[in-house]
Chain A
């Protein structure tokens, strides 16, 4: 099994890479920090005996990240799974960002996943593989905060549907996970309305589901109820939830 994890150096991505290595997947790890990637690759190889390739790539500035990753794979190499737990949010994403900042958020949260999927699709189809996308509970309903981030994450729902509509389950499986708050450096120090989830636990759940069919899940599952409540909230009430 060869699996690529994009955004692997920290947070949920690192935990996914660790869990995959524990289950003996050979890995291609992608992130911006070469030193972090090298450390993770060494650790996973030593602890679990798996082969790990790494690609240091700044997704905010890479014009064609898909081509870079395709070039990093051997010509003959199949790809069984592509996990895209990459993401970036910013403070002041409340209609205060300039064009450059908006472009950076869209590049990481939307352009990069799309470009990578496009480039690697033939390899995944050859292996009858699986693509795992990561949306966000923040995208369930538009708010005055996380404007660009949520827009990009909601666009991934559309990508998920497009892939499922285009390819039969026997050709390609597509999974979309929409996490709530996760206990990573991104949420550290924030006042959150509910406890953040353990990324290692989420990783175990997601990796355990890799062999299953296409699916869309909120993780942890309690966020499905929260999403339903948010969606069902009358507009007049929802509009008042500006905090």
Chain B
């Protein structure tokens, strides 16, 4: 499978948010603004690529019965690494994302790709798969975050264009998250069906 196709599949055909419906919890919770969604997506991307590579490297020697604990330990290591790095160098975003950074460990996408792809393919291909799915996740989170930000706070990437007023606050809270996600999913799948 060509490396490029792996990446593009993760973006569109296997988009984790709108097609695979994985990782819904961080999707709904961290997309209150475009920047937050983007950061969460990039954080997950970091973990995805690295854990995919590591797991594909060790998969041949991991005994069958303990493969899940081993994978989780590897994933958790990368997430903790990410956490320490964010705490040290991006403290503001670390505070904003808060609890959801350690929750990347249990994000279905990460373990899912590890099991479904990385454990059965080579290191470079797994990296590409991780990159593709991670990019797909990042894009969908950014788009969702952008929509919620525009409707909910009248801002685009933090810049308020409606004179400092609030937008429709339902969109920066849980109900709006579900509504936006639902409608975006409709649009995405409609576009997918057409092509």
A and B held together in a complex: no
